[in-house]
A and B are shown apart, each in its own frame.
Chain A
Amino acid sequence: MDSDGGKGGIPSHILRRHCKRSRLSKKLFTSEDHFSTVLKNRFKFDTNLQIAAHGLSDEQKEFQKMAFDFAAHEMSPHMAEWDEKEIFPVETMRKAAQLGFGGIYVQPEVGGSGLSRLDTSVIFEALSTGCVSTTAYISIHNMCNWMIDTFGNTEQREKFCPELCTMDKFASYCLTEPGSGSDAASLLTTAKLEGDHYILNGSKAFISGGGDTDVYIVMCRTGGKGPKGISCVVVEKDTPGLSFGKKEKKVGWNSQPTRAVILEDCHVPVTNRLGQEGQGFNIAMRGLNGGRINIASCSLGAAHACVQLARDHLLVRKQFGEALSNNQFLQFKLAEMATKLVASRLLLREAAVALQESRSDAVSLCSMAKLFVTDECFNICNQALQMHGGYGYLKDYAVQQFVRDIRVHQILEGTNEVMRMIIARSLLSESG
């Protein structure tokens, strides 16, 4: 609606109470449809939101408020259309970048916002209430941006980070291959050193943003077998030898394109390698710790939204002569959903703090948080759909999109089974 970074506006029925009823005034009101859509998706702020703000600093509450506003005005009204038409909302994401969302935990000297992991989690949780899929992509973009910021040298940081922070350029994270998902360290994409270039050969699967993004962080094999033979290189769009598979048709996450990334004798300058040869796997995993917090935050936002939606529906829908909210089973179910939501949020925020403080239990906590939060929040959203009855199954109602969108969070960035592997390994190791 606006190109200057402004808000969508206040619903017309509220404003009409406050504005003169002139014929000219009515003509000047912008379209009814936009406002009524905003209102349909607008969440009534209440105890649920107060709990989400508990324990946050004044500054974090400001970030959260601003992110909720952005989600409600700029994302929520379009969430269904982006899903149905598979639109990659570049303009909206650039608006978000103008507010600092392109490099939330990237250093300010290269254009980032320099915030903490907890700040980031709070922000993604709020944005996700507007559109899970778009927020999830923004979080992947942030992860890639951080990897260059943290492991890149000065030239690389100055070349890539500023444009990623403004989202003039978009990024993709390329680790998974057709033959290596959970067993990521067995990846086969090779990178042979020839003079001052690596020649990359191989293919990556399920790459978010693939084909529409500009900067690809590719994990490839420069050395021997296993994790120590893997390096991390930045491949730029339009490099000869870089091509893409067909756009995948997915159950959710439809506002981001997913494609295979194909590398055929793709020449990448050695100066595009992040860190040392053999450091790539470590870089990839360090990126994922934060990525897991972010994805779990997106699940949390979806669950927050769904608890509100379910609550509102129970208050309105009547059967057997009274509102569903009088039904004890549904009351108890809603209470369980809200309880699990708060428990999830607390675990996630603890993991975020552990990560930003580089605590020794950070990796384990991030895995625990990702596992618990994505599972519990999916159940919450699924329950919310059930509470809507038949209406929950219709695309007119937002709850089904939250369910479809967060289902994949239990799978990517490390399956929840792999999360259990990481936690068990930490528990059973001699130093654990």
Chain B
Amino acid sequence: MSRVLVGVKRVIDYAVKIRVKPDQSGVVTDGVKHSMNPFCEIAVEEAVKLKEKKFIKEVVAVSCGPSQVTETIRTALAMGCDRGIHVEVSGKDYEAMGPLQISKIFAALAKKEEASLVILGKQAIDDDCNQTGQMTAALLDWPQGTFASEVTIDGETVKVVREIDGGLETIKISMPAVLTADLRLNTPRYATLPNIMKAKKKKIANMKPADLGVDMVSRVEVLRVDEPPTRLAGVKVETVDDLVAKLKANGTI
């Protein structure tokens, strides 16, 4: 029972007001506050909890991107991960990076690190793809427990309670496996001051996608990014009859 890989993504902080770049090629990221994707925080918390319960020995935090992502890895280390891996991706490759490339990287790392579990957030709050976990499992041919709201390890199997449209589904899958964390899996801890200081001494290894035999070529080209249409001002009416008349007049009913 050894090692868990946790993916952490550096995204624009959830409280920031997003602005589209004037050339409509993407959103403004320069000078904007970034933090760890909230669902990745939940994934880290779950991995650290499993280690504290002695189901696993080591938690490795992994992030892909330019040098700034080391901040995100440090936060994961401060929450209790043992070491980090920074897969360096920058420039055009970073802008075009998506679930397909990430899942290839994670699949390669999972094999290299002989991980028993790969735990990811169910989706990132910037692209909302909800694909990386599933793709990673497919590439590894491992079972997947996605949208996990409860995880219990029992010997060589994992019981996962999943949040689905109709309610909750409980499945049992064998390890090694890929899990993706949903909102109610846990409440992430604050890093403590002593842990933040200990994190400084923990190692972050550097590598490139090429070292893992992964090509970063994207199959997707972003044509244009638009803001959602501005919400129009409403009109106040005096009575219910007025309301019905107006709805009829503009063809809604």
Chains A and B form a bound pair: yes
The residues of A with any CB-CB pair to B shorter than 8 Å are 2, 4-7, 9-11, 14-15, 17-20, 22, 24-25, 28, 42-47, 49-50, 58-59, 61-63, 65-66, 69-70, 98-101, 104, 108, 113, 115
Judge whether A59 and B197 touch: CB under 8 Å: yes
Q: Give the residues in chain A near B166, CB-CB below 8 Å.
A: 22, 24
Q: Which 4 A-B pairs have the closest CB atoms?
A: A100-B193, A6-B187, A45-B33, A113-B193
Name B193's contact: one of A7, A19, A43, A63 (CB within 8 Å).
A63
Give B178-213 as 1s and 0s: 1 = Cβ < 8 Å from A's Cβ atoms: 000011101111111110110110000000000000
| Interchain CA distance A44-B147 in the complex, whole Å | 29
If the complex has contacts A14-B14, A44-B16, are A66 and B191 also in contact, measured as CB distance less than 8 A?
A: yes
Contacting A at CB under 8 A, from B126-162, are 128, 147
Give B12-40 as 1s and 0s: 1 = Cβ < 8 Å from A's Cβ atoms: 01111100000000000001010100110
Q: B74 interface residue, CB < 8 Å from A?
A: yes
Judge whether A7 and B14 touch: CB under 8 Å: no
Q: B75 interface residue, CB < 8 Å from A?
A: yes
| Interchain CA distance A47-B17 in the complex, whole Å | 13
Judge whether A22 and B187 touch: CB under 8 Å: no
Distance in Å from the Cβ of B66 to the closest Cβ of chain A?
16
Q: Can you offer 11 A-B residue contacts whose CB atoms are under 8 A? A: A5-B190, A15-B183, A18-B183, A20-B164, A22-B167, A42-B15, A50-B31, A62-B74, A62-B191, A99-B190, A100-B194
| Interchain CA distance A28-B184 in the complex, whole Å | 9
Judge whether A6 and B189 touch: CB under 8 Å: yes
Give B58-73 as 1s and 0s: 1 = Cβ < 8 Å from A's Cβ atoms: 0000000000000100
Q: Give the residues in chain A near B45, CB-CB below 8 Å.
A: 6
If the complex has contacts A18-B125, A20-B164, A20-B165, are A10 and B190 also in contact, measured as CB distance less than 8 A?
A: no
Distance in Å from the Cβ of A3 to the closest Cβ of chain B?
10
Q: B245 interface residue, CB < 8 Å from A?
A: no
| Interchain CA distance A108-B192 in the complex, whole Å | 14
| Interchain CA distance A203-B75 in the complex, whole Å | 48
| Interchain CA distance A101-B193 in the complex, whole Å | 8
| Interchain CA distance A28-B78 in the complex, whole Å | 30
Judge whether B200 and A59 touch: CB under 8 Å: yes
Judge whether B192 and A99 touch: CB under 8 Å: yes
Greatest chain B CB density within 10 A among A62, A99, A100, A108 is at A62
Judge whether B196 and A59 touch: CB under 8 Å: yes
Distance in Å from the Cβ of A323 to the closest Cβ of chain B?
15
Judge whether B71 and A24 touch: CB under 8 Å: no
Give B106-133 as 1s and 0s: 1 = Cβ < 8 Å from A's Cβ atoms: 0000000000000000010100100000
Greatest chain A CB density within 10 A among B16, B31, B35, B194 is at B194
Judge whether B163 and A7 touch: CB under 8 Å: no
Residue of A nearest to B168 (CB): A24
Q: Give the residues in chain B near A20, CB-CB below 8 Å.
A: 147, 163-165
Judge whether A104 and B186 touch: CB under 8 Å: no
Judge whether B187 and A9 touch: CB under 8 Å: yes
Residue of A nearest to B130 (CB): A18
Judge whether B31 and A47 touch: CB under 8 Å: yes
| Interchain CA distance A115-B168 in the complex, whole Å | 46
If the complex has contacts A14-B14, A99-B190, are A62 and B75 also in contact, measured as CB distance less than 8 A?
A: yes
Judge whether A45 and B167 touch: CB under 8 Å: no
If the complex has contacts A20-B165, A45-B15, are A115 and B193 also in contact, measured as CB distance less than 8 A?
A: yes
Known contacts A6-B186, A17-B125, A19-B183; can you find 6 more A-B pairs with CB under 8 A? A7-B188, A19-B182, A44-B16, A59-B197, A99-B190, A99-B191
Residue of A nearest to B197 (CB): A59
Judge whether B192 and A100 touch: CB under 8 Å: yes
| Interchain CA distance A153-B245 in the complex, whole Å | 84
Judge whether B33 and A49 touch: CB under 8 Å: yes
Distance in Å from the Cβ of A129 to the closest Cβ of chain B?
13
Residue of A nearest to B41 (CB): A7
Distance in Å from the Cβ of A352 to the closest Cβ of chain B?
16
Name B189's contact: one of A4, A18, A45, A100 (CB within 8 Å).
A4
Distance in Å from the Cβ of A76 to the closest Cβ of chain B?
12
| Interchain CA distance A18-B38 in the complex, whole Å | 11
Residue of B nearest to A5 (CB): B189
Distance in Å from the Cβ of B13 to the closest Cβ of chain A?
6
Distance in Å from the Cβ of A354 to the closest Cβ of chain B?
23
Distance in Å from the Cβ of A58 to the closest Cβ of chain B?
7
